[in-house]
Amino acid sequence: MAWMDTYAAQIGSWRADYVSAEVITSMSSSHQLGIFFYMATDPALHIWMGVNDIPAGIDGVTADGTVFLGGGRLLNVPSLEVLCNGQSGSVSFGISGIDPATAAEVMAAMPPVRGKQVMIALTTLDQYYQPTASLIPVWSGTASHPSEESAVVAGEDNPNVTLSLAVISGNNTRSRPSGSLWSSAHQKALYPTDLGCDHTSRIARGVAPAWPF
pTM for the model stands at: 0.65
pLDDT of residue 172: 55
DSSP 133-192: S-BEEEEEEEEEEEEEEE----TTPPP-EEEEEEEESSS-----PPP----HHHHHHH-T
3-state secondary structure of 7: helix
Residue 206 identity: G
Judged on CB neighbours under 10 Å (0-12, 13-18, 19+), 133 is middle
The band of 178, judged by pLDDT with boundaries at 50, 70 and 90, is very low
- The domain segmentation of the chain, as residue ranges, is 30-179, 181-213
As beta bridge partners, residue 102 has: none
Instruction: Quote the mean pLDDT of the chain.
Output: 76
Q: Does the CA dihedral 184-189-193-196 come out positive or negative?
A: negative
State the CB neighbour count (10 A cutoff) for residue 120.
19
Tens digit of pLDDT for each residue in 97-144?
888 888 888 888 889 998 899 998 888 888 888 888 888 888 888 898
pLDDT of residue 44: 92
Q: State which H helix or E strand residue 202 sits in.
A: helix 200-204
